[in-house]
Amino acid sequence: MASSGSRFADCPPPPYYAVIFASQRNPGDNGYGAAAQRMIEIAPGMPGYLGVETARVPDGFGITVCYWKDEASIRGWKAQAEHHAAQEQGKAEWYERYELKVAKVERAYGGPQGR
Query: Which CB, 8 or 44, lies closer to its own copies?
Result: 8
Smallest distance from the beta carbon of 42 to its own copies, in angstroms? 22
Binding site for its own copies (CB under 8 A): 1, 4-5, 7-9, 11, 14, 18, 20, 22, 24, 53-58, 60-63, 65, 91-92, 95-114
Comparing CB distances to its own copies, the nearer of 54 and 80 is 54
Which of 45, 111 has the CB closer to its own copies? 111
Nearer to its own copies, 5 or 45 (CB): 5
- Distance in Å, CB of 13 to its own copies, minimum: 11
Is 17:68 a contact under the CB 8 Å cutoff? Answer: yes
Secondary structure, 3-state, 45-85: HCCCEEEEEEEECCCCEEEEEEEECCHHHHHHHHHCHHHHH
The secondary structure of residue 26, as a DSSP letter, is P
Q: Nearest approach, Cβ of 16 to its own copies (angstroms)? A: 9
Instruction: Return the exposure string of 60-90: e unless at least 16 CB atoms fall within 10 Å of the residue's CB, then b.
Output: eebebbbbbbeeebbebbeebeebeebbeeb
